């Protein structure tokens, strides 16, 4: 393609001439228009659709504050804790940057959990948005890895012992577990080598992967178009100009709506940073203000709140619980055989896998299966596009009792999160086990319950009531 540069009037503004010069050499205006300026989005977005842009804002906050923290942080076991104290006490505005970063970590997960909830309620993972959802699950996994690697860096008591417990979990994997734990730590115990490699992953490796996934997530989203609360494809109804009749340009309409959401978020975020940065020990644990001591174990070790639902599933997997898990797998295989129209080969494969897993549960200990369930509890989200067999996308047009299914799942998830920060007792373990069954039942039984009931008619056009 030949090089073409637009001819502008001699009295054109300098900014227009500069933009024209850039556009002739790099598609800056085209990228802006394709990805936002002239990207038509459904006109019936509600408050749930603010959390995607807020996630981008928090990502920027984390990157910027992280850069300033790295300028003063020392990734050395003898200096790490003191360098954090130096940032808090001696670096000008260092306390603010550190609190913005620590609060931003929790804010990131709050926003992402709400963003995922919106996708769950409105079926944003359904065709043709499967790849968007898979990129989103990849982003969530990267966030968990980023938070885990960053958790050790302050080198406080909870950082040290939390990392020790989590890394030791990999030792439960048969055959390769001990060597894998040793490889992750870089030593036989959590030490300076562990701190250095965690620092490298937290600052360089994971952020690069995360940014790539975010870019892929956005490109895939703008390729197929955004979902909406009605679950209707607005691209199916185009106007004479070739744009969706029920769509509006993202700029300026959603630009200003997102700016309003940003203002509300920053007000809450600032209040937490200035008045409750520890958030009662949930955002910053009190034990983490004590230097790491390999000779003194804290009485109760628990991960940060955003890991606790999955940590509860790990702790709920006891030797007694294994019997119920085996029974559940057998019942699920029977359900697949009796209540599906799958080919006989697939049913046979499901039965073989079920028998193998049940036998393996009798061979390997509960600790290993706790690690497996903890990992599967995250990865199972990636299967949602193929588990949901509902004839409609949005919860608006599903049977009313479906809302109670979602509510029970949400309550079970919150209960698991709460129990994860509490010391284990027999009663709490029992509740965790029940909630674990509810959590997995929600996903594994979805092919059946999602297609049951009387569905409401879906309108041909989006429902929108202007203010």
Place of tokens 């009931």: 453
Tokens linked to 100: 């913005």
Tokens linked to 254: 């959603």
Nearest to 278 by CA among 43, 98, 443: 98
101 is in an annotated binding site: yes
Q: How many CB atoms lie within 10 A of CB 366?
A: 18
Q: Are the CB atoms for 315 and 371 separated by under 8 Å?
A: no
In sequence order, what DSSP letters do the residues of 242-296 get, joined into one string?
SSBTTEEEIIIIIHHHHHHHHHHHHHHHHHHHHH-TTGGGTSS-GGGGSB--TT-
| Chain centroid, CA 316 distance in Å | 22
300 is in an annotated binding site: no
How many angstroms separate the CA atoms of 386 and 286, rounded?
43
Residue 152, C-beta contacts closer than 8 angstroms, at least 6 positions apart? 159, 160, 162, 163, 190, 194, 195, 198
How many angstroms separate the CA atoms of 170 and 176, rounded?
9
465 is in an annotated binding site: no
Nearest to 409 by CA among 367, 381, 390, 382: 381
Tokens linked to 409: 């799942």
251 is in an annotated binding site: no
Residue 209 burial (C-beta neighbours within 10 Å; 0-12, 13-18, 19+): middle
Q: Strand pairing partners for 291? A: 156
Nearest to 394 by CA among 459, 441, 447: 459
How many angstroms separate the CA atoms of 385 and 307, rounded?
24
467 is in an annotated binding site: no
Q: Residues forming the annotated binding site for heme b?
A: 101, 115, 202, 217
Query: Which parts are annotated binding residues for a ubiquinone?
Result: 222
Pick out the residues of the known binding site.
101, 115, 202, 217, 222
């Amino acid at each position: 393609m030949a090089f073409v540069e637009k001819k502008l009037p001699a009295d054109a503004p300098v900014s227009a001439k500069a933009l024209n010069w850039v556009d002739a050499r790099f598609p800056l205006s085209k990228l802006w228009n394709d990805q936002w300026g002239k990207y038509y989005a459904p006109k019936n977005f509600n408050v749930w659709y603010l959390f995607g842009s807020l996630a981008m804002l928090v990502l920027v906050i984390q990157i910027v504050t992280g850069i300033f923290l790295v300028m003063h942080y020392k990734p050395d076991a003898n200096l790490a804790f003191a360098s954090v104290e130096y940032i808090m006490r001696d670096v000008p505005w260092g306390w603010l940057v550190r609190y913005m970063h620590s609060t931003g970590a929790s804010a990131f997960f709050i926003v992402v959990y709400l963003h995922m909830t919106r996708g769950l309620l409105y079926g944003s993972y359904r065709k043709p948005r499967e790849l968007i959802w898979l990129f989103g699950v990849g982003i969530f996994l990267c966030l968990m890895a980023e938070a885990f690697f960053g958790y050790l860096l302050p080198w406080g008591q909870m950082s040290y012992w939390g990392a020790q417990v989590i890394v030791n979990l990999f030792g439960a994997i048969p055959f390769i577990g001990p060597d894998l734990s040793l490889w992750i730590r870089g030593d036989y115990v959590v030490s300076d080598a562990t701190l250095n490699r965690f620092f490298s992953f937290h600052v360089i490796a994971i952020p690069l992967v995360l940014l790539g996934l975010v870019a892929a997530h956005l490109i895939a989203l703008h390729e197929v178009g955004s979902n909406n609360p009605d679950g209707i494809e607005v691209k199916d109804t185009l106007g004479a100009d070739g744009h969706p009749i029920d769509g509006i340009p993202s700029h300026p309409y959603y630009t200003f709506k997102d700016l309003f959401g940003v203002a509300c978020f920053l007000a809450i975020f600032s209040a937490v940073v200035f008045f409750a940065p520890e958030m009662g020990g949930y955002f910053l644990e009190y034990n983490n203000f004590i230097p790491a001591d390999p000779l003194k174990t804290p009485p109760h070790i628990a991960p940060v709140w955003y890991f606790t639902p999955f940590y509860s599933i790990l702790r709920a997997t006891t030797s007694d619980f294994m019997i119920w898990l085996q029974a559940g797998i057998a019942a699920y295989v029977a359900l697949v055989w009796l209540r599906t129209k799958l080919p006989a080969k697939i049913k046979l494969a499901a039965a073989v896998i079920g028998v193998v897993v049940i036998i393996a549960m009798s061979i390997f200990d509960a600790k290993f299966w706790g690690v497996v369930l903890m990992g599967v509890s995250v990865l199972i989200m990636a299967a949602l596009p193929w588990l949901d067999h509902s004839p409609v996308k949005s919860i608006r047009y599903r049977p009313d009792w479906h809302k109670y299914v979602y509510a029970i799942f949400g309550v079970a998830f919150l209960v698991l999160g709460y129990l994860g920060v509490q010391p284990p007792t027999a009663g709490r373990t029992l509740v965790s086990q029940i909630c674990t069954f509810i959590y997995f039942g929600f996903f594994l039984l979805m092919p059946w319950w999602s297609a049951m009931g009387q569905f409401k008619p879906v309108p041909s056009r989006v429902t929108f009531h202007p203010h």
